[in-house]
């Protein structure tokens, strides 16, 4: 039984990783071939550096991800506090229902419907070329908000309601009480929400594709247009870099989490 499950685990992870390993290996290929490895080189990484549109897209993607995740975290945390203080009733259920829509709706419908809104709004306002960074930002904030809210809400629910009262009891104004006492206790939820928002923004293709106005490229949309054309190993080197950045990010966040847990265990001994 043990051996069987080990073999099975190996096979599943082999399936998950074989394409990625192939891609990494061939990013160092000397020739243009995507099936035969002819020799080791950094050519495709150097080629990547010369592609100005990719570097621009990278810049856009990062600005977009940082901006939208910060905004949606602040906005979403405030909304979560608001929702949490709502009494059970139609307004609360309605708000929760609306919050779930962008998560449940297929991304293509979300993207397409926002595109319709932006097209209509620009016609109404008489702007010819309305789609761009602004619409991308709005779209990203909109689909990130539910993830922030759904990460913060459970933490708020776990927080002892008396905590804010205790702070007020000891001389804090209500707003001070929130920042001094409630915020630290929901911080883990806020951070998780923000990381999720950030990675979702980095990774998003479909919604960006419909709301970027075809001119304003993010990294995923530029990958899309590259793969539409001829196969070029530049994609390999780009993907390899992305892979290692994500790996680094994941290991870092897990390490931080692990160290935090360890620290907490230590103090409780």
Partner 1 sequence: MENNIIIDLKNISVAFGDNQVLKNLNLYIRDGEFITLLGPSGCGKTTTLRIIAGFTAPDEGQVYFEGKLINNVPPYKRHVNTVFQRYALFSHLNVYENVAFGLRNKRMKEKEIRETVKQMLELVNLKGFERRHINSLSGGQQQRVAIARALAVNPRVLLLDEPLGALDLKLRKDMQNELKNIQQRLGITFIYVTHDQEEALSMSDTIVVMNNGIIQQIGTPKDIYNEPKNAFVADFIGESNIVDGIMRDDFVVDFSGHRFDCLDKGFAKDEAVDVVVRPEDVDVVPLEKGMLKGTVTSVVFKGVHYEMIVDIGGFKWMIQSTDEQQEGDKIGLYIEPDAIHIMKKSEYSGMFGDYSSFSEEYDELSNAEEPEEADGEEG
Partner 2 sequence: MNKSTSLKTKLLNSPYIVWSALFVIAPLIFVVYYSFTDIDGNFTFENVLSLTAYTDTIIRSVWFGVVSTIICLVIAYPIAYIMAHSKAASQRTMMIMVMLPMWMNFLIRTYCWMVLLQDTGIINTFLGKLGISPVHMINTPGAVILGMVYDFLPFMILPIYSVMTKLDPSIVEAAQDLGCNRFAVLRKCVIPLSMPGVISGITMVFVPSVSTFYISQKLGGGSFELIGDVIERLYLTPNQNNVGAALSMFLMILILICMAIMNKFSNSSEEGMVI
Question: Which residues of this protein are in contact with partner 1, per CB under 8 A?
Answer: 87, 160-163, 165-174, 176, 180-181, 184-185, 187, 264, 267-269
Structure token digits, residue 16: 């998950």
Strand-pair partners of 29: 40
Tokens of 53: 């549109």
Q: Is the Cβ of residue 43 or residue 99 nearer to partner 2 in the bound state? A: 99
Q: How many residues does the chain have?
A: 269
36 contact, one of partner 1, partner 2, none, CB 5-8 Å limit per kind: partner 2
Between 50 and 269, CB nearer to partner 1: 269
**Is 79 one of the binding residues for partner 2 (CB under 8 A)?**
yes
Question: Is 117 or 183 the residue whose CB approaches partner 2 more closely?
Answer: 117
62 touching partner 2, by CB under 8 A? no
Least Cα distance to 138 among 159, 118, 123 occurs for: 118
| Given 20, 166, 183, 259, the residue binding partner 2 (CB under 8 A) | 20
Question: Quick one: what does residue 163 bind among partner 2, partner 1, none, with the CB cut-off 5 to 8 Å set by partner type?
Answer: partner 1
89 binds, among partner 2, partner 1, none (CB under 5 to 8 A by kind): none
Question: What are the DSSP calls for 98-137, one per residue?
Answer: HHHHHHHS-HHHHHHHHHHHHHHHHHHHT-SS--SHHHHH
Stretch that binds partner 2, among 49-57, 106-114, 124-132, 181-189 (CB under 8 A): 106-114
Q: Among 199, 99, 82, 76, which residue's Cα sits nearest to residue 148?
A: 76
| Radius of gyration of the chain from its Cα atoms, rounded to whole angstroms | 23
Calpha distance 121→113 (Å, rounded): 12
Question: Coil, helix or strand for 263?
Answer: helix
17 vs 179 by CB, closer to partner 2: 17
Question: How far are the Cα atoms of 2, 35, 46, 145 from residue 232, in angstroms, in the given order?
Answer: 43, 12, 13, 36
Establish if 81 lies at the interface with partner 2 (CB under 8 A). Answer: yes
Q: Cβ of residue 83: shortest distance to partner 1, in angstroms? A: 14
Residue 17 binding target from partner 2, partner 1, none, CB below 5 to 8 Å by type: partner 2
């Amino acid at each position: 039984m043990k051996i069987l499950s080990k073999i099975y685990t190996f096979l599943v992870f082999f399936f998950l990783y074989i394409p990625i390993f192939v891609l990494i290996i061939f990013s160092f290929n000397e020739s243009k071939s995507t099936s035969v490895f002819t020799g080791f080189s950094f050519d495709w990484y150097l080629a990547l550096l010369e592609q100005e549109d990719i570097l621009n897209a990278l810049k856009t993607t990062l600005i977009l991800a940082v901006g939208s995740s910060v905004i949606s975290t602040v906005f979403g945390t405030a909304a979560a506090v608001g929702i949490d203080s709502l009494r059970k009733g139609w307004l609360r259920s309605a708000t929760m229902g609306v919050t779930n829509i962008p998560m449940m709706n297929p991304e293509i419908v979300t993207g397409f419907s926002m595109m319709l809104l932006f097209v209509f709004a620009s016609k109404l306002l008489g702007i010819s070329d309305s789609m761009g960074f602004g619409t991308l930002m709005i779209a990203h904030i909109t689909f990130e908000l539910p993830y922030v809210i759904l990460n913060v809400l459970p933490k708020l629910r776990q927080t002892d309601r008396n905590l804010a009262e205790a702070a007020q009891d000891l001389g804090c104004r209500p707003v001070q009480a929130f920042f001094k006492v409630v915020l630290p206790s929901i911080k883990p939820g806020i951070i998780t929400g923000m990381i999720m928002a950030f990675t979702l923004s980095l990774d998003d293709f479909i919604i960006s594709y419909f709301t970027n106005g075809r001119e304003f490229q993010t990294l995923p949309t530029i990958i899309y247009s590259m793969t539409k054309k001829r196969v070029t190993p530049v994609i390999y080197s780009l993907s390899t870099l992305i892979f290692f950045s994500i790996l680094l990010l994941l290991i870092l966040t897990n390490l931080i989490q692990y160290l935090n847990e360890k620290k907490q265990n230590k103090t409780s001994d």
